[in-house]
């Protein structure tokens, strides 16, 4: 079923790791190069920058081509649009398959955009087939259910065929999203969506177990983590899109917003599963940020200071504790950098931080009242003349 054999996937991962070990000084460059030759595969690949650009351009072309097709045929009714979208989905999927088979593309951007585009087109087509009034907001519930269901099945097919993680995530998200138009009760929709995520989590966790970080365990690990993350987002009622809920459900979810990160972090640490650790740290921060709204307490301007002190304090204390262990490690965990990729990730964050400037007021001064506080259009973390 899969377009790429297990051996190919394993060799690609081995090649990446060999390159990373050479960069990290664990292997000499010539040794790494000779071993890379041993595991090299006959597939066309490219770097992330070109891959992303190719993905974006192909996606735009696909959308434009489908609309153009509809315009040229003079189509205006939903059923005809549904037919065009269905045909386009098939053509798009077929093209992706052909490019992989004939051009031997692997994560090249073009074939990925076509395959992901096919999922979206299929979902839209199914929704339009389900109701001629698909675009009428008040009657959208049934078509939406059908669209999500078709999208979920289509995305699963794309994942099974090409192994794109994005497709697996879309499949899971669409399956969970079915609950919202399908179930009338607000409690029921949240509970059903969370159950879908939890089910996927357990399936991925069990399937991953025999493989660990080796292929396909690495893919299952990401799916498992996203499912866990999704379950939390659905159950945290104080995130945007919340509202009023029955007393028991409200306080149960409150308890869960604390329990999920704690349990997840425990699992991540026990299995040394990086994505679970990172995701649950983020969830813990979200829990801290939504705690006061949950308790219906007023937020204060010093809350971010307390949160920041807590985050920095935890990091400093944890680092100190690790440094006290033999060879700067405790139970195998170390604060030291082992791979060059870790440094690159932090450097990238440093570059990206140019877009997020802390402690910035506006660039207005008391003598320029026309400029209101809260701007910062020019960027800059510099002094501001107004608070």
Partner 1 sequence: MRMLDRLARWKESGAISKPQHDAIAGIVRKDRFSVYVELNILLYLGALSIAGGVAWTVREHFSDLGDFAILCSLSVVLVLSFYYCFSRVLPFSMGEVESPNPVVDYVLYLACALFSVTLGYIEFRFEVLKAAWDYYLLVSAALFFVLAYRFDNRFVLSLGLSTLAGWFGLRFWRFGFISPSSLRGAALAYGAIVAALGSFLQSREIKKHFFETYLHIAANVVFMAMLSGVDRDAGGWLWAAALVALGTFAVMMGIRNRKFAFVAYGTIYPYLGVSLELLRGIHDDVTILSYIVVSGTAVVVWLVYLARRFGRES
How many residues touch partner 1 (CB under 8 A)?
108
* DSSP annotation string for 81-96: HHHHHHHHHHHHHHHH
Stretch that binds partner 1, among 41-49, 169-177, 221-229, 253-261 (CB under 8 A): 41-49
Among the listed residues 138, 240, 295, 378, the single contact to partner 1 using CB under 8 A: 378
Give 52 or 136: the residue with its C-beta nearer to partner 1. Answer: 52
Residue 367 makes contact with partner 1 by CB under 8 A: yes
**Under rule CB under 8 A, which residues in 179-208 are in contact with partner 1?**
none
8 A C-beta contact, residue 156 and residue 168: yes
Take residue 222 and report the two structure tokens written for it. 């990401």
Residue 266 makes contact with partner 1 by CB under 8 A: no
Residue 348: other Cβ atoms inside 10 A: 10
8 A C-beta contact, residue 97 and residue 3: yes
Residue 80 makes contact with partner 1 by CB under 8 A: no
Residue 239 makes contact with partner 1 by CB under 8 A: no
8 A C-beta contact, residue 244 and residue 263: no
Residue 40 makes contact with partner 1 by CB under 8 A: no
Give 199 or 289: the residue with its C-beta nearer to partner 1. Answer: 289
Give 157 or 286: the residue with its C-beta nearer to partner 1. Answer: 286
Q: What is the DSSP letter of 385?
A: S
User: How far, in Å, CA of 154 to CA of 145, rounded?
Assistant: 14
8 A C-beta contact, residue 375 and residue 362: yes
Stretch that binds partner 1, among 195-203, 242-250, 253-261, 354-362 (CB under 8 A): 354-362
Residue 40: other Cβ atoms inside 10 A: 12
Residue 326 makes contact with partner 1 by CB under 8 A: no
Residue 325 makes contact with partner 1 by CB under 8 A: no
- Beta carbon of residue 3, minimum distance to partner 1 (angstroms, whole number): 18
Residue 87 makes contact with partner 1 by CB under 8 A: no
Residue 377 makes contact with partner 1 by CB under 8 A: yes
Exposure string for 121-138, b = 16+ CB within 10 A, e = fewer = bbbbbbbbbbbeebeeee
Give 137 or 301: the residue with its C-beta nearer to partner 1. Answer: 301
**Under rule CB under 8 A, which residues in 111-140 are in contact with partner 1?**
none
Q: What is the DSSP letter of 373?
A: S
Give 171 or 280: the residue with its C-beta nearer to partner 1. Answer: 280
Question: 272 in the Ramachandran plot: left (φ > 0), alpha (ψ -120 to 50) or beta?
Answer: left
Backbone angles phi and psi of 188, in degrees to 5: -60, -40
Give 21 or 249: the residue with its C-beta nearer to partner 1. Answer: 21
Among the listed residues 2, 209, 270, 336, the single contact to partner 1 using CB under 8 A: 336
Unique residue bearing structure tokens 């320029």: 368
Among the listed residues 214, 262, 321, 325, the single contact to partner 1 using CB under 8 A: 214
Among the listed residues 110, 118, 179, 237, the single contact to partner 1 using CB under 8 A: 110
DSSP alpha helix (H) spans, 272-302? 274-294
8 A C-beta contact, residue 128 and residue 134: yes
Residue 58 makes contact with partner 1 by CB under 8 A: yes
Q: What is the DSSP letter of 114?
A: H
DSSP alpha helix (H) spans, 163-185? 165-177, 179-182
- Beta carbon of residue 148, minimum distance to partner 1 (angstroms, whole number): 28
Among the listed residues 263, 278, 297, 325, the single contact to partner 1 using CB under 8 A: 278
Helices 165-177 and 217-235 pack at an angle, to 10 degrees, of 30
8 A C-beta contact, residue 184 and residue 130: no
Stretch that binds partner 1, among 83-91, 230-238, 255-263, 308-316 (CB under 8 A): 308-316
Residue 363 makes contact with partner 1 by CB under 8 A: yes
- Beta carbon of residue 346, minimum distance to partner 1 (angstroms, whole number): 5
Among the listed residues 3, 13, 186, 292, the single contact to partner 1 using CB under 8 A: 13
């Amino acid at each position: 079923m899969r377009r790429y054999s297990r051996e190919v996937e394993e060799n690609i991962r081995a090649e990446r790791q060999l390159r990373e070990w050479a960069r990290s000084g664990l292997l000499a460059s010539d040794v790494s190069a000779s071993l890379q030759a041993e595991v090299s595969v006959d597939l066309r690949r490219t770097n992330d920058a070109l891959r992303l650009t190719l993905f974006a351009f192909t996606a735009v072309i696909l959308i434009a081509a489908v609309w153009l097709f509809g315009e040229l045929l003079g189509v205006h009714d939903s059923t005809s649009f549904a037919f065009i979208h269905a045909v386009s989905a098939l053509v798009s999927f077929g093209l992706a398959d052909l490019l992989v088979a004939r051009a031997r593309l692997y994560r090249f951007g073009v074939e990925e955009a076509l395959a992901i585009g096919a999922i979206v087109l299929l979902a839209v087509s199914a929704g339009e087939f389900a109701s001629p009034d698909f675009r009428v907001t008040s009657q959208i519930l049934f078509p939406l259910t059908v669209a999500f269901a078709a999208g979920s099945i289509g995305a699963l097919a794309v994942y099974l065929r090409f192994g794109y993680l994005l497709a697996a995530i879309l499949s899971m998200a669409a399956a969970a999203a079915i609950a919202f138009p399908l179930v009338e009760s607000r409690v029921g929709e949240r509970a059903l969506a969370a159950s879908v995520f939890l089910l996927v989590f357990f399936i991925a966790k069990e399937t991953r177990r025999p493989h660990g970080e080796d292929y396909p365990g690495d893919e299952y690990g990401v799916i498992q983590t996203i499912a866990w993350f999704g379950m939390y987002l659905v159950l945290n009622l104080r995130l945007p899109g919340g509202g009023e809920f029955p007393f028991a459900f409200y306080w149960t979810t409150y308890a869960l917003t604390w329990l999920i990160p704690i349990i997840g972090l425990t699992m991540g640490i026990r299995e040394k599963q990086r994505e679970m650790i990172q995701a649950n740290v983020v969830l813990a921060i979200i829990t801290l940020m939504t705690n006061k709204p949950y308790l219906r307490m007023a937020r204060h301007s010093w809350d971010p200071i307390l949160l920041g002190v807590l985050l920095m304090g935890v990091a400093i204390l944890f680092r100190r504790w690790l440094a006290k262990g033999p060879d700067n490690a405790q139970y195998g965990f170390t604060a030291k950098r082992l791979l060059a990729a870790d440094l690159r990730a932090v450097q990238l964050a440093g570059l990206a931080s140019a877009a997020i400037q802390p402690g910035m007021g506006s660039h207005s001064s008391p003598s320029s009242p026309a400029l209101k506080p809260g701007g910062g259009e020019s960027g800059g973390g510099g002094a501001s003349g107004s608070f």
